């Protein structure tokens, strides 16, 4: 199962961690993993490459996890929060469609 955690600090999403494998299908044919990977990569690219924020991203291939942490304040805070909220809504919609394969939490 994929576990997606969004870090909440007083109503502000300060980052996320996504880990695990969905187990929906074999590697290369797993639409759940593909959708989650796309959402994670999109959010990371927009926050770091488009908005130019200094978020820290850690990828651990061994545990199949990606963690992104924002600085205490972002220059483009409103846009960053919109991206992360959109990612959370996207993953929540996937969870609703594939509840046995993905879990989404705010921590």
In this predicted model, what pLDDT tens digit does every residue of 4-63 receive, in sequence order? 999 999 999 999 999 999 999 998 899 999 999 999 999 999 999 999 999 999 999 888
Query: What is the rounded CA–CA span in Å between residue 95 and residue 32?
Result: 9
pLDDT of residue 4: 98
Which residues partner with 19 through β-bridges? 3, 65
The pLDDT, as a whole number, for residue 42 is 98
> What is the pLDDT at residue 38?
97
Q: Looking at residue 62, what is its pLDDT?
A: 87
Flag whether pLDDT at 65 surpasses 90.
yes
Q: Which domains does the chain have, with CATH numbers?
A: 2-106 (3.30.70.1490)
Query: Which pLDDT does position 27 carry in this prediction?
Result: 87
Q: How far is CA 71 from CA 9, 74, 86, 90, in A?
A: 12, 6, 19, 23
- Report the SS3 class of residue 42: helix
Q: Which of 12, 34, 10, 6 is nearest to 22 (CA)?
A: 34
pLDDT exceeds cutoff 90 at 102:
yes
Q: Are strands 102-106 and 2-9 parallel, antiparallel or unpaired?
A: parallel
Instruction: Return d(Cα 72, Cα 14) in angstroms, integer.
Output: 8
CA-to-CA distance for 97 and 32, rounded, in angstroms? 10
The pLDDT of 91-98, averaged and rounded, is 98
Q: Give the model's confidence band at 87: pLDDT under 50 very low, under 70 low, under 90 confident, else very high.
A: very high
């Amino acid at each position: 199962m994929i576990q997606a955690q969004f870090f909440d600090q007083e109503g502000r999403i300060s980052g996320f961690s996504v880990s695990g494998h969905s187990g929906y299908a074999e590697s290369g044919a797993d639409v759940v993993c593909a959708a989650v990977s796309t959402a994670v990569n999109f959010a990371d690219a927009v926050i770091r490459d488009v908005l130019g924020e200094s978020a820290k991203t850690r990828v651990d291939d061994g545990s199949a996890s990606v963690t992104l942490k924002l600085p205490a304040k972002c220059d483009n805070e409103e846009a960053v929060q919109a991206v992360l909220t959109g990612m959370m809504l996207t993953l929540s919609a996937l969870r609703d469609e594939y509840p046995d394969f993905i879990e989404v939490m705010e921590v």
